[in-house]
Amino acid sequence: MEQIPKDIGEYAGAGEITIADEVIASIAGVAAKEVEGVASVGKGTVRRMLAERLGGAEGKARGVQVEVGTIEAIVDLSLNVIYGFNIPKIIAAVRGKVASRLFDLAGLDAKEINVHIVGIEFPEKAEKPEKRVK
The CATH number covering residue 83 comes to 3.30.70.1350
Render pLDDT for 85-131 as a digit per residue (tens, 0 to 9).
999 999 999 999 999 999 999 999 999 999 999 999 998 854 455 55
Domain hosting residue 73, numbered range: 18-121
pLDDT at 44 over 80: no
Q: What angle do CA 127, 82, 95 make, to 5 degrees?
A: 150
Q: What is the mean pLDDT of the chain?
A: 82
| Cα 82 to the center of its chain, rounded Å | 16
Cα(49)–Cα(46) distance, integer angstroms: 5
Q: Do residues 108 and 71 lie in contact, with contact meaning Cβ atoms separated by under 8 Å?
A: yes
Number of domains in the chain: 1
- Is residue 29 assigned to a domain? yes
Give the whole-angstrom CA distance, residue 10 versus residue 20: 25
